Amino acid sequence: METILRSVSVYALLLLFLRLNGIRTIAQITTFDFILLLLIGESLQQGLIGEDYSLTNALLTVLTLIGLDVLLSLVKGRSKTADKILDGIPCVLLENGRLLKDRLQETRVGGSDILAAARETEGLERFDQIKYAVLERDGKISIIPKRS
Protein backbone atom coordinates (compact mmCIF):
# COMPACT_ATOMS: atom_id res chain seq x y z
CA MET A 1 0.00 0.00 0.00
CA GLU A 2 2.90 2.33 0.73
CA THR A 3 4.13 2.00 -2.87
CA ILE A 4 0.73 2.98 -4.24
CA LEU A 5 0.50 6.02 -1.95
CA ARG A 6 4.04 7.08 -2.86
CA SER A 7 3.25 6.73 -6.58
CA VAL A 8 0.01 8.69 -6.32
CA SER A 9 1.71 11.45 -4.33
CA VAL A 10 4.66 11.78 -6.71
CA TYR A 11 2.38 11.68 -9.76
CA ALA A 12 0.12 14.40 -8.35
CA LEU A 13 3.00 16.66 -7.36
CA LEU A 14 4.80 16.20 -10.65
CA LEU A 15 1.59 16.91 -12.57
CA LEU A 16 1.10 20.09 -10.53
CA PHE A 17 4.69 21.25 -11.03
CA LEU A 18 4.62 20.60 -14.77
CA ARG A 19 1.26 22.38 -15.20
CA LEU A 20 2.62 25.38 -13.30
CA ASN A 21 5.76 25.32 -15.44
CA GLY A 22 3.83 25.78 -18.68
CA ILE A 23 2.87 23.80 -21.71
CA ARG A 24 5.38 22.24 -24.05
CA THR A 25 5.38 19.11 -26.10
CA ILE A 26 8.35 16.77 -26.36
CA ALA A 27 9.04 18.16 -29.84
CA GLN A 28 9.30 21.68 -28.43
CA ILE A 29 11.44 21.17 -25.35
CA THR A 30 14.86 22.72 -25.26
CA THR A 31 18.03 20.91 -24.27
CA PHE A 32 17.72 22.48 -20.82
CA ASP A 33 14.13 21.19 -20.49
CA PHE A 34 15.24 17.70 -21.50
CA ILE A 35 18.06 17.65 -18.96
CA LEU A 36 15.66 18.95 -16.32
CA LEU A 37 13.19 16.13 -17.07
CA LEU A 38 15.96 13.54 -16.80
CA LEU A 39 17.10 14.95 -13.47
CA ILE A 40 13.54 15.10 -12.15
CA GLY A 41 13.03 11.45 -13.10
CA GLU A 42 16.24 10.42 -11.37
CA SER A 43 15.45 12.51 -8.31
CA LEU A 44 11.98 11.02 -7.93
CA GLN A 45 13.10 7.42 -8.32
CA GLN A 46 13.96 7.02 -4.64
CA GLY A 47 10.66 8.60 -3.62
CA LEU A 48 8.71 6.18 -5.77
CA ILE A 49 10.53 2.98 -4.88
CA GLY A 50 11.48 3.69 -1.26
CA GLU A 51 13.67 1.00 0.29
CA ASP A 52 12.06 -1.90 -1.60
CA TYR A 53 14.04 -2.56 -4.79
CA SER A 54 12.15 -5.73 -5.70
CA LEU A 55 10.71 -6.35 -9.15
CA THR A 56 7.25 -6.62 -7.59
CA ASN A 57 7.53 -3.13 -6.10
CA ALA A 58 8.80 -1.70 -9.40
CA LEU A 59 5.91 -3.28 -11.31
CA LEU A 60 3.39 -2.06 -8.74
CA THR A 61 4.80 1.46 -9.09
CA VAL A 62 4.56 1.34 -12.89
CA LEU A 63 1.02 -0.08 -12.79
CA THR A 64 -0.06 2.61 -10.33
CA LEU A 65 1.33 5.39 -12.53
CA ILE A 66 -0.29 3.96 -15.66
CA GLY A 67 -3.55 3.49 -13.78
CA LEU A 68 -3.49 7.12 -12.64
CA ASP A 69 -2.88 8.26 -16.20
CA VAL A 70 -5.81 6.20 -17.49
CA LEU A 71 -8.04 7.38 -14.63
CA LEU A 72 -7.25 11.03 -15.31
CA SER A 73 -7.93 10.59 -19.02
CA LEU A 74 -11.36 9.16 -18.14
CA VAL A 75 -12.05 12.03 -15.73
CA LYS A 76 -11.05 14.56 -18.42
CA GLY A 77 -13.40 12.85 -20.87
CA ARG A 78 -16.34 13.26 -18.49
CA SER A 79 -15.61 16.66 -16.97
CA LYS A 80 -14.88 19.78 -18.99
CA THR A 81 -13.68 21.51 -15.82
CA ALA A 82 -11.17 18.76 -15.06
CA ASP A 83 -10.09 18.80 -18.70
CA LYS A 84 -9.40 22.55 -18.54
CA ILE A 85 -7.53 22.23 -15.24
CA LEU A 86 -5.38 19.30 -16.36
CA ASP A 87 -4.72 20.25 -19.98
CA GLY A 88 -5.33 24.00 -20.01
CA ILE A 89 -7.11 26.05 -22.65
CA PRO A 90 -5.87 27.61 -25.89
CA CYS A 91 -4.37 31.08 -25.48
CA VAL A 92 -4.18 33.81 -28.14
CA LEU A 93 -0.61 35.18 -28.19
CA LEU A 94 -0.80 37.51 -31.18
CA GLU A 95 -3.76 39.33 -32.64
CA ASN A 96 -3.73 41.20 -35.95
CA GLY A 97 0.06 41.36 -36.05
CA ARG A 98 0.34 42.67 -32.48
CA LEU A 99 2.02 40.61 -29.77
CA LEU A 100 0.01 40.32 -26.56
CA LYS A 101 2.93 40.80 -24.18
CA ASP A 102 1.09 39.86 -20.98
CA ARG A 103 0.11 36.50 -22.45
CA LEU A 104 3.60 35.92 -23.82
CA GLN A 105 5.02 36.48 -20.33
CA GLU A 106 2.35 34.31 -18.73
CA THR A 107 3.00 31.39 -21.09
CA ARG A 108 6.76 32.02 -21.42
CA VAL A 109 6.58 31.98 -25.20
CA GLY A 110 8.70 34.39 -27.20
CA GLY A 111 8.03 36.24 -30.41
CA SER A 112 10.72 34.14 -32.06
CA ASP A 113 8.69 31.01 -31.23
CA ILE A 114 5.67 32.51 -32.98
CA LEU A 115 7.71 33.49 -36.04
CA ALA A 116 9.25 30.00 -36.18
CA ALA A 117 5.77 28.44 -36.15
CA ALA A 118 4.61 30.93 -38.80
CA ARG A 119 7.53 30.04 -41.08
CA GLU A 120 7.11 26.30 -40.57
CA THR A 121 3.37 26.08 -41.04
CA GLU A 122 2.40 29.01 -43.27
CA GLY A 123 5.63 30.31 -44.80
CA LEU A 124 5.12 33.71 -43.17
CA GLU A 125 8.03 35.97 -42.26
CA ARG A 126 6.58 38.90 -40.30
CA PHE A 127 4.11 39.48 -37.48
CA ASP A 128 1.98 41.77 -39.65
CA GLN A 129 1.18 38.77 -41.89
CA ILE A 130 -0.42 36.93 -38.96
CA LYS A 131 -4.04 37.43 -37.91
CA TYR A 132 -3.82 35.14 -34.85
CA ALA A 133 -1.18 33.01 -33.18
CA VAL A 134 -2.69 30.60 -30.67
CA LEU A 135 -0.87 28.49 -28.10
CA GLU A 136 -2.83 25.25 -28.22
CA ARG A 137 -3.46 22.89 -25.32
CA ASP A 138 -0.78 20.51 -26.56
CA GLY A 139 1.87 23.25 -26.61
CA LYS A 140 1.92 23.83 -30.35
CA ILE A 141 1.46 27.28 -31.81
CA SER A 142 -1.27 27.55 -34.46
CA ILE A 143 -0.95 30.33 -36.98
CA ILE A 144 -3.91 31.93 -38.74
CA PRO A 145 -2.61 34.16 -41.52
CA LYS A 146 -4.21 37.42 -42.61
CA ARG A 147 -6.06 37.06 -45.89
CA SER A 148 -5.24 39.58 -48.58
Question: Is the confidence at residue 24, as pLDDT, over 80?
Answer: no
71 and 20 assigned to the same domain: yes
The Cα 140–Cα 15 span in angstroms is 19
Domain that includes residue 10, residue range: 2-87
pLDDT in tens, 91-121: 999 999 999 999 999 888 999 999 999 999 9
80 and 95 assigned to the same domain: no
So what's the pLDDT on residue 47?
Answer: 80
So what's the pLDDT on residue 2?
Answer: 87
101 and 32 assigned to the same domain: no
97 and 69 assigned to the same domain: no
The number of domains in the chain is 2
